[in-house]
Amino acid sequence: MTEHTWQPTASLAALRQRAALLARVRQFFAERQVLEAEVPVLSRRATSDPHIDSITALLNGDAAYLATSPEFGLKRLLAAGLGDCYYLGKAFREGEAGGRHNPEFTMLEWYRCGWDDRALMLEVGELLRTLLDIETVESLSYRELFLQHLGLDPHTAGIEPLRECTAENVELSFAPADRDECLDLLMSHYLEPRMGPGITLLYDFPASQAALAKVLPDDTGRPVARRFEAYVGGLELANGYWELTDAEEQLRRFEADHRYRGAHKLHVYPYEERLVEALRAGMPECAGVALGIDRLLMLAGGYRRIEEVIAFPVGRA
Amino acid sequence: MASYSTNEFKGGLKVMLDGDPCSIVENEFVKPGKGQAFNRVKLRNLKTGRVWERTFRSGESLEAADVMDREMEYLYNDGEFYHFMEPDTFEQHPASVEAVGDAAKWLKEQDICTVTLYNGSPLAVTPPNHVILEITDTDPGLRGDTAQGGNKPATLSTGAVVKVPLFLEIGETIKVDTRTGEYLGRAKDD
């Protein structure tokens, strides 16, 4: 069969489903008085995340970056007093391509002032139930998931037992470097496939994986990241935080990320010092979450690969 | 030898893993939103035929395997080796019993097979999809009703045993699909 590369890879039915889904998302937030906001997709500053690379563009001859998420822009708007708001648009990540990834993708991200991660997690569950017609919602902690399936506590297990457990359950070409690499491997290769077909809300991540979430003691007194993820049938859909509002801690995390990237010979991007300034000026206490719209559409329409829901994925863009 | 990075892995690419030549079957990019990126890869070991699953860190690379498929004519079996010849250069390659494997029961002299060479020596042999072979042994044919269903085993000149319709006799030549071992018809029907 001849391939006509001018044509979309998604069916017209999938593209109509996309339009309907976007309309329903906007309606969901309109009913809740959450404001749609736009932030720059092209910026002179980039994410510091150790595991996310930005796509570099030229702006007046200087390096600029395509946003990997609207987070910094939205937080500056929160500090300016805009209140509950969301972004629904494109985000970009270098090198992420596969059956569930496209370097350019559609992201929904929203913030709720005065809420914590637990409250926002429930709203994520509500949005998913509304859009996917799924009734089953299970919420459990990261620790409970590991205990249930692997019998080990991800917060306290030593590196050796973790390495052994990883080697037993995942065929690897390398020895995992640290605890987080073991945990990531177990999560993506062993635990995600064992999640139920419904909505799974997972909370209280290891403190070492806090990203931009608050770190607080859990009910056992152990410091955990107040971060959550939402999965449907084991497919990762959303990642949320009870947001860090401490400017000095934010600066320390940016600098720690820079050291990590430097030590691992990864490109070191300029971090967003205007976010630190916004936090110093005072960002309201809030919770925020980002959700992948393309994957949501895959689930809603029963599509197996991301190119079935994107008109022109990277291979045809 | 060249090497390939995980982002170049695609179906059919030949690479070395644990000292054995392998063919990549599937390559899945796995990345938790806030975690490291991995590639979960399925590879067929070309020596054993077994499929391996292996996870790599994204950006890792594997050495390319010196593996190529060639069309060759099957010449003869000397009791130890099966001999194949490249039709354009007349170069001959002896293939071991292990390399020939299950293909042995379909090999007829002068048929064109696909011989997989690894570092220049035969690693595997794939017979033609369709072969024409003579029936050397089968129960006597049932004359008359050729539309009647039912079948019987027949031994072919190469040693393969296939199920054939009841009316066929010793000495007839038939066409067989080597991938399924299925009888396709009398050779003269073509």
Which pLDDT tens digit goes with each residue over B111-152? Answer: 999 999 999 999 999 999 999 999 999 998 766 555 567 889
Does residue A166 fall inside a structural domain?
A: no
Q: Which chain B residues are closer than 8 Å to A96 by Cβ?
A: 29, 31, 37
The low-confidence residues of chain A, meaning pLDDT below 70, are 1-2
Contact A290, A69 (CB under 8 A): yes
Alpha-helix residue ranges (DSSP H) falling in B56-163 = 97-100
CA atoms A259, A262, A264, A266: torsion sign: positive
Please report which confidence band the pLDDT of residue B48 belongs to, taking 50, 70 and 90 as the band edges: confident
Across chain B, mean pLDDT equals: 92
Question: Which member of B35, B53, B60 has the closest CB to residue A184?
Answer: B35
d(CA B184, CA B175): 5
pLDDT reading at B59 higher than 70 = yes
Q: CA dist A290 to A79, A120, A190, Å?
A: 19, 11, 24
- Residue A80 is predicted with a pLDDT of 98
Does residue A143 fall inside a structural domain?
A: no
- Residue B144 is predicted with a pLDDT of 59
Does residue A288 fall inside a structural domain?
A: yes
Which CATH architecture best describes the domain B67-126?
Beta Barrel (2.40)
Domain boundaries, chain B: 3-63, 67-126, 130-189
Asked whether the beta carbons of residue A209 and residue B38 sit closer than 8 angstroms, the reply is: no
Right CATH number for B3-63 from 3.40.50.720, 1.20.120.140, 2.60.40.10, 2.30.30.30? 2.30.30.30
Does residue A174 fall inside a structural domain?
A: no
Mean pLDDT throughout B63-80?
95
pLDDT reading at B190 higher than 50 = no
- Residues A114-144: pLDDT tens digits? 999 999 999 999 999 999 989 899 999 999 9
Contact A88, A63 (CB under 8 A): no
Give the three-state DSSP class for A193. Answer: helix
Min distance B91 CA to chain A CA atoms (Å): 36
Q: Closest by alpha carbon to B73, among B93, B48, B96?
A: B93
pLDDT reading at B39 higher than 60 = yes
Q: Which chain B residues are closer than 8 Å to A172 by Cβ?
A: 54-55
State the complex-level ipTM: 0.89
Q: List the helix and strand counts (H, then E) for chain A.
A: 9, 12
Give the three-state DSSP class for A116. Answer: coil
Asked whether the beta carbons of residue B54 and residue A96 sit closer than 8 angstroms, the reply is: no
Across chain A, mean pLDDT equals: 96
Answer whether A96 touches B (CB < 8 Å): yes
- Residues B12-29: pLDDT tens digits? 999 999 999 999 999 999
Instruction: Give the long-range contacts of residues A216-225, CB within 8 A, separation 24 or more.
Output: A218/A141, A218/A143, A222/A155, A222/A156, A224/A142, A224/A155
- Residue B33 is predicted with a pLDDT of 80
pLDDT reading at B34 higher than 90 = no
**pTM of this prediction?**
0.84
Answer whether A188 touches B (CB < 8 Å): yes
Contact A146, A154 (CB under 8 A): yes
How many residue pairs bridge chain A and chain B with CB atoms within 8 Å of each other?
68
Same fold, B3-63 and B67-126: no
Which CATH architecture best describes the domain B130-189?
Beta Barrel (2.40)
Contact A254, A49 (CB under 8 A): no
Answer whether B60 touches A (CB < 8 Å): yes
**How many domains, in total, are found in chain A?**
1
Answer whether A107 touches B (CB < 8 Å): no
- Residue B147 is predicted with a pLDDT of 59
Instruction: Mutate one of B10, B27, B31 to test the A interface: name it (highest A CB count within 10 A).
Output: B31
